[in-house]
Structure 1
Amino acid sequence: MAATLGAGLLVASCANPAVEKAASAQRSLVGLSKQQLLSCAGVPERQASADGYEFYTYSNSRIVSYPGGSFGSWYGGPWYPGYRYGWGGWGWPGYIGDEIRTYSCQATFTLKDGTVERIVYGGPGGGNASECYAIVQNCLTPVN
């Protein structure tokens, strides 16, 4: 699964710089101290520990609505043929409906002896890299 997500991040990085930055964060944030992680990413939503490892999970999501409609759909009949331009509504012929998409990511940081060893992205649908970047972006900002 990690290979699939990694391949998806690589392909998507051509179109979105946030994808590339999220992928590089998986390497550049290794070695971050627990204190630095909590300072830049905040308190995790979930945390667990096992066999000397700590796991901190952060998540980010957003919902986007794209208007559906019946732009350019046929209306009328043989007595009043016509072509309608614009967005339709319920009851209009050809109404498609709004499209609602959820983009989300869960980033799990694995810490050993108070230091980040690994970051794994996942979530519904494998995780959306832009949403993963939103989790780690404050940790990538240089401190002056």
Structure 2
Amino acid sequence: MRILGIVALAAALGGCAFQRAEVAQTAQASMIGMPKEQVLACMGAPANKAAEGKTEVWGYNSGNGMTVTDASYGRFGGTAVSSNRFCNVNIVMTAGLVSAVNYTGPTGGLLTAGEQCAYAVNACVKHQ
């Protein structure tokens, strides 16, 4: 019975990761053309900014601090490797409008790429 509960919890958490990955993917298309004032309203102040001519890039850090651990055990002992998942979100604006939304970093798993990026862009997707 306890194992069934653990499996159900893992499935529920995995479902959330899929939803966040979908939000991140949606943001990359739906935020195009958004004025920078609206980005500021839904994402807040960026962690960093860069500008060149009429192009600006606003950088945001995103994620929930998730750590993934892989363990393997052999005949003489075991090893474990852990890694943190996070996302650097870069909002590219040309002439004051979003022209691209780019993600870098270990943003998710094999089937949930981008899920750590959803934390930063979620409010922008919900406002549309």
Please say if residues 63 and 100 of structure 1, whose CA atoms lie closer than 8 Å, have aligned partners that are also in contact: no
Q: CA RMSD in A?
A: 2.6
Percent of matched pairs sharing the same residue = 24
Bigger Rg over Cα: 1
Q: Which of 91, 105, 110 is the matching residue for 1:109?
A: 91
Structure 2: state its 5+ residue gaps.
Answer: 1-16, 109-113
Which residue number corresponds to residue 136 of structure 1? 121
Pairing 1:45-64 to 2, within 5 Å after superposition: 45-61=47-63, 62-64=65-67
TM-score by length of 1: 0.61
TM-score after normalising by structure 2 = 0.68
Q: Distance in 2 between matches of 1:19 and 1:67?
A: 21
Q: How far apart, CA to CA, are the structure 2 residues paired with 1:18 and 1:63?
A: 13
The 1-side partners of 2:87 and 2:119 are apart by 9
Q: 2:102 aligns with which of 107, 120, 137?
A: 120
Between structures 1 and 2, the one with greater helix share: 2
1:105 CA drift (Å): 0.8
Shift of 1:118: 0.8
Paired residues for 1:65-76 under 5 Å: 66=69
CA contact (8 A) 2:62 2:118 kept: no
In the alignment, which residue of structure 1 is the partner of 2:36? Answer: 34
In 2, are the aligned partners of 1:47 and 1:54 still within 8 Å (CA)? yes
Relative contact order, CA 8 A, sep 6+: which one is greater? Answer: 2
* Unpaired segments ≥5 residues, structure 1: 1-14, 75-92
Question: How many equivalent residue pairs?
Answer: 106
Deviation at 1:113, TM superposition (A): 1.7
Deviations 1:80-132 (A, max 9, x none): xxxxxxxxxxxxx84x4664320011111111121111111112x4x331111
